[in-house]
Amino acid sequence: MKLTILFGGASFEHEISIVSAITIKEKLASFDLTFIFCDTDHSFYLIDTSKMKAKTFSSGEHKKMPQLTLEKGCFMQKGMFSKSEYKSVVLNLIHGADGEDGTVAALLDFYGVDYIGPRKDACTFSYDKRYTKYLCDAIGVKSVKYEVLHKNEAANIETPYPIIIKPSRLGSSIGVSIVKEESELDYALDVAFEFDSTVIVEPFLEGVKEYNLAGYYAQNKMHFSIVEEPHKEEFLDFEKKYMDFSRSEQVLSANIEEELTARLKSNFQRVYSGLFEGALIRCDFFVYNDEVLLNEINPIPGSMANYLFEDFIQAIESLSQSLPKREQIKTNYEYIHSISKAKGK
């Protein structure tokens, strides 16, 4: 099948997206793939598939490739006397800002381009960790207790140490610190506030178990990946997570009871339903004191969490055939006519 991989973006995770796209190229080698790169200045480039290497971008070589514009229903390459349309389902693989904050969703919706990826509201509730908490509270999914700090305001933290400090709106562990005692706090806050004007404080839960589960809705039902217990270190820093984005080898299922798997799936489905349709997402859960807690929603997981699926090709194919319909709104100017009459104009 034809599929366009849209990657890059004006985001702290720009480079991660490049790594993700290179990995996807391998995993979907049987597809007819088009690669469209969104540069940090929001120019779109058509990338020669044989040049899908990190160096193409770090060297700036991509800037010599054809520029595209987003038009109704397609990306367009305009020459002096010709136009070429690139028209296929888009896989939104822009991590972080642009891709996960709702911008790309809005652009593709506005221009009528079909895409795999989270829709606008889904982005709001997953991109900003505060809003993920709002969602959890509203739909009855448990999550870790939290406090919110604002830049340039006194930090009156009530959570006892050790704590985790996270910028509200970044993924990939950028700007995240574990703070064991008060003396380390100021530095951790400085780091986090480098990246965002609001910061989340959570207790650092000793002995927590971590489980990742991916899934999507297609052909009228949910499809789940295996459950993975990720390698446990204090937490993955940016470089380690970065390597993570290039993962392509299928992993083994976590050795857990069926009952826990069922609880993870049920929490996943509660988060997903009515909000994430059209996207393949990964939810990262904690299990602590026998409670399942949602830690994070990755609405565009690194390399689409391909390594969690037994048949990743089938997953992308069936999802691309089950995308939410865009509503067509027509206007007949009936109200303007009737108001004009009422006003005698």
Which of these segments, 99-107, 219-227, 297-305, 309-317, binds a second copy (CB under 8 A)? 99-107
Specify whether the CB–CB gap between 278 and 119 falls below 8 A.
Answer: yes
- Least Å distance, CB 324 to a second copy, is 10
Closest by Cα among 237, 246, 183, 181 to 27? 246
- Least Å distance, CB 24 to a second copy, is 16
Distance (Å, rounded) from C-alpha 16 to C-alpha 25?
Answer: 14
Q: How many CA atoms lie within 13 A of 175 on its CB side?
A: 21
Which residues, 263 to 322, sit near a second copy by CB under 8 A?
274
- Produce one character per residue of 21-59: b if its CB has 16 or more CB atoms within 10 Å, e if not: bbbbbebbeebebbbbbbbeeeebbbbeeeebeeebbee
Pair type for strands 115-116 and 221-228: unpaired
Nearer to a second copy, 117 or 204 (CB): 117
Secondary structure (H, E, C), 61-93: HHHHCCEEEEECCEEEEECCCCEEEECCCEEEC
The yes or no reply on residue 101 touching a second copy (CB under 8 A) is yes
The identity of residue 24, as a single letter, is: I
- Least Å distance, CB 259 to a second copy, is 27
Q: Could you tell me the two tokens for 95?
A: 């991590």
Specify whether the CB–CB gap between 271 and 283 falls below 8 A.
Answer: yes
Q: Which of 49, 58, 253, 321 binds a second copy (CB under 8 A)?
A: 58
Instruction: Give the count of beta carbons closer than 10 Å to the beta carbon of residue 87.
Output: 16
Nearer to a second copy, 30 or 331 (CB): 331
Q: Which of 107, 157, 208, 256 binds a second copy (CB under 8 A)?
A: 107
Nearer to a second copy, 8 or 301 (CB): 8
Which of these segments, 82-90, 125-133, 175-183, 304-312, binds a second copy (CB under 8 A)? 125-133
- Least Å distance, CB 332 to a second copy, is 9
The yes or no reply on residue 202 touching a second copy (CB under 8 A) is no
- Least Å distance, CB 122 to a second copy, is 9
Q: Which of 11, 126, 303, 320 binds a second copy (CB under 8 A)?
A: 11
Residues 6 or more apart from 21 whose CB is under 8 A from it?
Answer: 5, 7, 35, 52, 93
Which of these segments, 25-33, 199-207, 247-255, 328-336, binds a second copy (CB under 8 A)? 328-336
**Binding footprint of a second copy, residue count (CB under 8 A):** 59
Distance (Å, rounded) from C-alpha 89 to C-alpha 113?
Answer: 7
Q: Which of 77, 84, 124, 322 binds a second copy (CB under 8 A)?
A: 124
Q: Which of 239, 248, 262, 311 binds a second copy (CB under 8 A)?
A: 239
The yes or no reply on residue 12 touching a second copy (CB under 8 A) is yes
Closest by Cα among 191, 189, 179, 180 to 154? 189
The identity of residue 189, as a single letter, is: L
The yes or no reply on residue 121 touching a second copy (CB under 8 A) is yes
Residue 162: cis peptide before it, omega within 30 degrees of 0? yes
Distance (Å, rounded) from C-alpha 206 to C-alpha 177?
Answer: 15
Which residues, 16 to 55, sit near a second copy by CB under 8 A?
16, 18-19, 40-42, 54-55
Nearer to a second copy, 235 or 238 (CB): 238
| Contacts with a second copy, residue ranges (CB under 8 A) | 10-12, 14-16, 18-19, 40-42, 54-55, 57-58, 72, 97-98, 101-103, 105-107, 109-112, 120-121, 123-125, 128, 130-131, 133-135, 137-138, 150, 198, 238-239, 242-243, 274, 327, 329-331, 333, 335-340
